[in-house]
Amino acid sequence: MGKIAFVFSGQGDQYPGMGKELAENYPVATKVFAMCDEIRSGTSSQCFAGSEEELKETKNTQPCLFAMELAAATVLTDAGITPDAVAGFSLGEIVACTVAGFVDEKTGFRLVCKRGELMQQAAEQVDSAMAAVIKLSREDVERLCKAFSDVYPVNYNCPGQITVAGLASQMTDFAAAVKAAGGRAIPLKVKGGFHSPFMREASASFASDLEGAELCQGRVTLYSNLTAEPYTEDVVGLLSAQICHPVRWEDTVRNMIAAGIDTFIEIGPGKTLTNMIGKIDAGVKTYCVSDLSTILSEVAPC
């Protein structure tokens, strides 16, 4: 096996009960949830017993996913599985930043709580929505978006899949344009037009929060959503700007592979990133944390 990357998922795969099995079976995971509860009361109960509707609220989704993902990552590192590089999709970048050592666990959790609140506030100011466009090239999607005043390509996921954000009032016509071009627009179960100009105010406010946080050098290579390249010293700029700019996931994965990563472990409640990575390069090995026993048996050092 060559180099290993941990990749942390974003909103969309959350479900009631996520993380419960981790907390019940791994003391190090239990400790992570307890830390999160100390800072934000009720986080673990939302993960384990919250309703699907409750978990869709961005101010809840982001801290709950952070707690679950950090707990899973801690289980892996406790078993001796350590990453050579990390990356995260949207809010997953905050978890990746924490695991890489750019912030400590408590700071990372406080930041993701604030990020979730700011992005929900921004989403509530405008009636926006998101959709995944499939079967079209990035150039085709960009061209279609330009025909609308407020529809933007925001997540470059993998070949043939680009996520867009736009005013809800324009999304029906946009979906029709996509269909006419030979593609399909699939609505996403998120409440807001993330990684678009609709999030500029949240981005600026989050930059202020980051300025007040204690940031460290980092001990693991961390890839940026904004640039698709390893982090520079401008942690504040990279983490805040990604809120209102596209996630360059396909480019990020390709750059990680070019740097020698051949094994990706998706850390999150679903398999979204695993599926994307398989479409980007079928030659790399992928695991997802839902198959934790397989990871521990196949990847953990002897």
User: What are 49's two structure tokens?
Assistant: 């017993």
Distance CA 247, CA 244 (A): 9
* 147 Cβ neighbours under 8 A, 6+ residues apart: 177
pLDDT in tens, 193-238: 999 999 999 999 999 999 999 999 999 999 999 999 999 889 999 9
> Would residue 245 show up in a list of annotated catalytic residues for this protein?
no
Distance CA 259, CA 264 (A): 13
pLDDT in tens, 232-283: 889 999 999 999 999 999 999 999 999 999 999 999 999 999 999 999 999 9
For range 126-140, the mean pLDDT: 96
Active-site annotation holder among 9, 44, 90, 240: 90
Which of 3.90.79.10, 3.50.50.60, 3.40.366.10, 3.40.50.150 would CATH assign to domain 3-124+196-298? 3.40.366.10
Active-site annotation holder among 9, 44, 195, 203: 195
Quote the pTM value: 0.95
Distance CA 286, CA 42 (A): 33
Distance CA 73, CA 91 (A): 15
pLDDT of residue 296: 87
Please report, for the chain, the start and end positions of each structural domain, with discontinuous segments joined by +: 3-124+196-298, 128-187
188: number of Cβ within 10 Å: 17
11-15, 127-131, 243-247: segment of lowest average pLDDT: 11-15
pLDDT of residue 34: 98
pLDDT in tens, 137-151: 999 999 999 999 999
Tell the CATH superfamily of the 128-187 domain: Malonyl-CoA ACP transacylase, ACP-binding (3.30.70.250)
